[in-house]
Amino acid sequence: MDVQKSRREPHALSLLHSLSTRMNLSTDDERYYNNLRQGYSGECQFDQMVSDANINCLVLNDLLLENNHTEIQIDSILINQGKLYMIEIKNYEGDYYIQVDRWYSRATNNEIKNPLLQLKRTETVLRQILQKAKINIEVEALLVFINPQFVLYHASPTYPIIFYPQLTRFLKKLSGDHLLAKDKKIVEYLLLQQIPKSRNVYLPKYSFEQLKRGIMCPDCGSEFIRKTITELACETCGYVERIDDGIIRAFQEFRILFPDETFTTQKFYEFCGGIVSKHSCIRVLKKKVKLVSCSKKSYFHID
């Protein structure tokens, strides 16, 4: 297996995780956050199964592409022996059923979006992108349900679906094939077609003043207290972290929450809730970013 593009945690998920520890999310935002978290967990589980299977193919994860102003996000692409498998991963849990091409949750009888329609739309746009470049390759779009606790009733055997018990068998089928020279060229082309950022991602509104100050525990999200001169600790779960590591995490969190804001020492000190000194903030961050000193204030310049 040759992973040509690794998966990264979605920006919206990282942002909502930070917000969830610093403010009360609305019911809709909480649901959105949980859906993102569950979806990403399923994608990582798929990645692990692909890695464990040791298949002989090229792997592209989390591709964001566009054609004629239509965006698509592809969870995973597997290419081998001149064939492209486009994978849409769903981490649904519980019982669902299909009735006249409509999908429903059995627990609530509420209709959900038909994931096969999303799969078909994504496949169509991908084919158009390949056709534009005159790339001739067989494309098979597959919907993978990664959760072993998922059951779908009334699913036709002709649907392009792989359930959890079938996944190992599907991956094993790819283990013996050989890569072709054109497989690598197709991967290179798709990587060049990526767009840097989606225009369709929902992000909640918030301000610096709304957010709880402090350095938060990476395990449970509670606010850290000062344990020793060099350590922070969580009273809720007992997690202990070096102060320097906590400052770096808080810095990364600040940049996710406020990417366009001037990053001043004072602002960051306030963000950390005074649990660490300004001197400690400057000492640690000088190793990571350039400190610019002015007559009235200092700020960090981030390239």
Q: pLDDT tens-digit profile of 224-267?
A: 999 999 999 999 999 999 999 999 999 999 999 998 887 888 89
Q: CA–CA separation, 86 vs 179, rounded Å?
A: 17
| 3 state DSSP class of 250 | helix
pLDDT at 284 over 80: yes
The structure tokens 């566009």 sit at 66
Q: pLDDT tens-digit profile of 188-212?
A: 999 999 999 898 889 999 999 999 9
Q: CA–CA separation, 59 vs 185, rounded Å?
A: 13
Share of the chain above pLDDT 70, in %: 94
pLDDT at 293 over 60: no
CA-based nearest residue to 267, from 275, 278, 280? 278
**Helix crossing, 27-53 with 164-173: angle to 10°?**
40
Averaged over 85-91, what is the pLDDT? 98
Cα torsion for 201, 202, 205, 211, to the nearest 10°? -80
Is the pTM above the cut of 0.85?
yes
121 forms beta bridges with: none
Q: pLDDT tens-digit profile of 8-53?
A: 999 999 999 999 999 999 999 999 999 999 999 999 999 999 999 9
pLDDT confidence band for 174 (50 / 70 / 90): confident
Contacts with 150 (C-beta within 8 Å, 6 or more apart), sequence order: 90, 92, 93, 94, 96, 163, 164
DSSP 216: B
Contact 247, 296 (CB under 8 A): no
| 3 state DSSP class of 42 | helix
**In the chain, which residues fall in CATH 1.10.10?**
208-301
pLDDT at 303 over 50: no
Q: CA–CA separation, 17 vs 1, rounded Å?
A: 32
Share of the chain above pLDDT 90, in %: 80
pLDDT at 299 over 60: no
For the 208-301 domain, the top CATH level (class) is mainly alpha
pLDDT at 186 over 90: yes
